[in-house]
Amino acid sequence: MAKIITMTSGKGGVGKTTSSAAFGTGLALRGFKTCIIDFDVGLRNLDLIMGCERRVVFDFINVVNGEARLNQALIKDKRVENLFILPTSQTRDKDALTMAGVEKILEELKKEFDYILCDSPAGIEKGAQMALYFADEAIIVTNPEVSSVRDSDRILGVIQAKSRRAEQGLEPVKEHLLLTRYDLDRVERGEMLKVEDVLEILAIPLIGIIPESPAVLKASNVGMPVTLDEKSTAGQAYMDAVARFLGEKVEHRFMKPEKKGFFDRLLRRTA
Amino acid sequence: MKTSTQTAFRDAPFQLRGASFTMMVLKVGDPRNPNFFPVLAGKIAQAPNFFKNAPVVLDLDDLPPGMPFDFGQFSGLLRNLGMVAVGLQGGTPEQQKDALAAGLAVLPPSRDAKTFDPLAGSGRSPAQGMGAGGGPVEAPARPAPQPEPAPPPAPAAAASRGTLMITEPVRSGRQIYAQGGDLVVVGPVSPGAELVADGSIHVYGALRGRALAGVGGDKASRIFCQSLEAELVSIAGLYRIADDMDRKVLRKQVQIFLDDGFLHIDPVAA
């Protein structure tokens, strides 16, 4: 049974698209046929992060408007088997989406895919509501700072009130918290919220903590989901999150500052 | 000469305030019954002081559908008995129009009207008829002859209607209003959320948003919470913002109430 997952946050710039790319790639690496949809109409970014921007011919909006078939718009990833991207339009805006059009595409995708990952735009308006309306599960991307936590709280309220599952009185959307850009040093110094502080306010299960890592920006710039960088802590943390999403018990890593060994200190001093 | 709205309000020759009163509701069954007013007069004679110039709200829900009703004449007859008709509760659009024309206010329909219906329905339910009528085979054949009245679970139903129970976290941006009763939240209330109740507010969790109890003017209503981290608390219009709260009560289990016209925030012994 195909599942629709929405990656959302309320606030912008917290890492929704990066997380969608990394998480979706992770699901595909685990053998699930996965499609990532860019719902951020007008601010097309997912294709850049996934490194397929030069292969976009038709997009999500073309399919909604019946100008192209779904198969013409889907882009198959060249690196990972089972991974597809549905890019969005850069020239249109959120008003180009219709509930009926989105539903039709999702129903069609459900027949072929195991997971459909919707990369939501920021905000709580039409675009974001459209991305979360059909969700079975939601991953809330949050940074450890107060405004991000408050906006996440708000979007959780929107999910509980305005999703299809809420409107039809079905089993509620399953919520997961993904804490990104977690900077251990700054948390230690009290400049960022602790995991416990965030959990206390949002009160939803934690699916993963992604440490702040230079590998993330580097990966974005070269169009490679960070999950494919197996050496990076962020990539490993995303794979852990995928495992937890699939119901496996995995300990949270990267939450304690790494013990700097003698050689590390020596190297750092000389470097 | 122009004055800003603010000054205009401050210098206004009146004050507009909310207040709540207890009033009698007169449920009118058949006003054409010749005994209607004599029986009512008999009732009033039992406690003349209580009924003297008492305001009365009319309820015409029991009136046979389509029966015309003369508000002016009826009010006049009530006046003769010493009662003052002030409004109509619920009613059809036509009745409401006529009531307004006769100088009566239109009030929202009664809340206990609904509690009654499901009870009446369950009394006649096939399951109960079967239980009273004996064997399940013959039960459908004869209708249950309304045996002894079913034990009325009315008080419990009424109590649960008066209390709004929320069993999930109240998220930022959400506003919950418990009309005519208490609000109970089992879970945290996030910053930016707003709880409003005509009665008291109970939060079994941290209160981080706003809580306004007794918005209908009930000064006896209170706010209870497990951890006071609220942005604003208010009872019957008197409010206090986070900045003005005593640091000693922050993050404590407290109750908030009115006494001598002041808002008190007192810790509750755990």
List, in sequence order, every residue forming a beta bridge with B25; answer none if it has no partner.
B57
Average the pLDDT over each of A67-81, A89-103, A254-268, B220-234 and give the range with the smallest value.
Answer: A254-268
Residue in A with minimal Cα distance to B173: A154
pLDDT in tens, A181-190: 999 899 989 8
For an interface test with A, the pick among B167, B168, B170, B172 (most A C-beta atoms closer than 10 Å) comes out as B172
Residue in B with minimal Cα distance to A204: B169
List, in sequence order, every residue forming a beta bridge with B240; answer none if it has no partner.
B233
Using CB atoms, pick whichever of A157, A200, A201 lies closest to residue B173.
A157
Å between A168 CA and nearest CA of chain B: 18
For an interface test with A, the pick among B176, B190, B194 (most A C-beta atoms closer than 10 Å) comes out as B190
Cα–Cα distances in angstroms (integers) from residue A223 to residues A156, A213, A217, B270, in the given order: 30, 16, 10, 56
Return d(Cα B129, Cα B131) in angstroms, integer: 5
Using CB atoms, pick whichever of A150, A158, A203 lies closest to residue B169.
A203
Question: Does the distance separating the beta carbons of A154 and B188 come in below 8 Å?
Answer: no
With 0-12 / 13-18 / 19 or more C-beta atoms within 10 angstroms meaning exposed / middle / buried, residue B110 is: middle
Question: Does the distance separating the beta carbons of A150 and B192 come in below 8 Å?
Answer: yes
* Cβ pair B250, B228 in contact under 8 A: yes
Helix axes B71-80, B93-101, angle to 10 degrees: 60
> Strand, helix or coil at B201?
strand
Q: Which two tokens stand for residue A149?
A: 């936590």
CB contacts, 8 Å: B173 with chain A: 124, 153-154, 157-158
Q: What is the pLDDT of residue A20?
A: 98
With 0-12 / 13-18 / 19 or more C-beta atoms within 10 angstroms meaning exposed / middle / buried, residue A124 is: middle
Residue in A with minimal Cα distance to B169: A203
Q: What is the pLDDT of residue B136?
A: 37
Residue B234 has pLDDT above 90, yes or no: yes
Question: Does the distance separating the beta carbons of B191 and A153 come in below 8 Å?
Answer: yes
Cα–Cα distances in angstroms (integers) from residue B202 to residues B121, B157, B237, in the given order: 33, 20, 18
- B204 interfacial to chain A (CB closer than 8 Å): no
- B251 interfacial to chain A (CB closer than 8 Å): no
Question: Does the distance separating the beta carbons of A160 and B172 come in below 8 Å?
Answer: no
- B123 interfacial to chain A (CB closer than 8 Å): no
% of chain A surpassing 70 pLDDT? 94
Residue B158 has pLDDT above 90, yes or no: no
CB contacts, 8 Å: A160 with chain B: 168, 171
* Cβ pair B183, B205 in contact under 8 A: no
Return d(Cα B91, Cα B247) in angstroms, integer: 51
pLDDT in tens, A80-89: 999 999 999 9
Return d(Cα B48, Cα B27) in angstroms, integer: 20
Question: Does the distance separating the beta carbons of A158 and B192 come in below 8 Å?
Answer: no
- B174 interfacial to chain A (CB closer than 8 Å): yes
Q: What is the pLDDT of residue A7?
A: 98
* Cβ pair A134, B153 in contact under 8 A: no
Rounding to the nearest 10 degrees, give the CA dihedral for residues B106, B108, B109, B115: -160
Return d(Cα A114, Cα A5) in angstroms, integer: 11
Q: Span B61-81, mean pLDDT?
A: 84
Å between A160 CA and nearest CA of chain B: 9
Q: How many helices (H) and strands (E) does chain A have?
A: 13, 8
Length of chain B: 270
Q: How many CB pairs under 8 A join A and B?
A: 37
Q: What is the pLDDT of residue B10?
A: 62
For an interface test with B, the pick among A154, A155, A162, A173 (most B C-beta atoms closer than 10 Å) comes out as A154
Cα–Cα distances in angstroms (integers) from residue B252 to residues B116, B200, B223, in the given order: 42, 18, 13
* pLDDT band (50, 70, 90) for residue B8: low
Of B78 and B200, the structure prediction assigns the larger pLDDT to B200
Residue A271 has pLDDT above 50, yes or no: no
Question: Does the distance separating the beta carbons of B188 and A157 come in below 8 Å?
Answer: no
Q: What is the pLDDT of residue B9?
A: 59
Residue B134 has pLDDT above 60, yes or no: no
For B114, half-sphere exposure in the C-beta direction (CA atoms, 13 angstrom radius) is 9
Q: What is the pLDDT of residue A169?
A: 92
Q: How many CB atoms lie within 10 A of CB A55?
A: 14
Question: Does the distance separating the beta carbons of A156 and B171 come in below 8 Å?
Answer: yes
For an interface test with B, the pick among A8, A129, A153, A155 (most B C-beta atoms closer than 10 Å) comes out as A153
Q: Span A8-31, mean pLDDT?
A: 97
| pTM of structure | 0.65
Residue in B with minimal Cα distance to A161: B174
> Strand, helix or coil at B182?
strand
ipTM of the modeled complex: 0.71
Distance of CA B42 to the CA centre of its chain: 30
Chain position carrying tokens 């590998």: A215
Question: Does the distance separating the beta carbons of B187 and A153 come in below 8 Å?
Answer: no
Q: What is the pLDDT of residue B221?
A: 96
Residue in B with minimal Cα distance to A172: B168
Of A137, A77, A85, A134, nearest to A107 by C-alpha is A134
CB contacts, 8 Å: B174 with chain A: 157, 161
Using CB atoms, pick whichever of A154, A200, A203 lies closest to residue B172.
A154
Residue in A with minimal Cα distance to B207: A201
CB contacts, 8 Å: A148 with chain B: none
Provide DSSP, A67-83.
Answer: SS-HHHH-EE-SSSTTE
Return d(Cα A34, Cα A6) in angstroms, integer: 13
- B168 interfacial to chain A (CB closer than 8 Å): yes
Residue in A with minimal Cα distance to B191: A150
* pLDDT band (50, 70, 90) for residue B197: very high
**Which domains are delineated in chain B?**
24-107 (3.30.70.260), 162-267 (2.160.20.70)
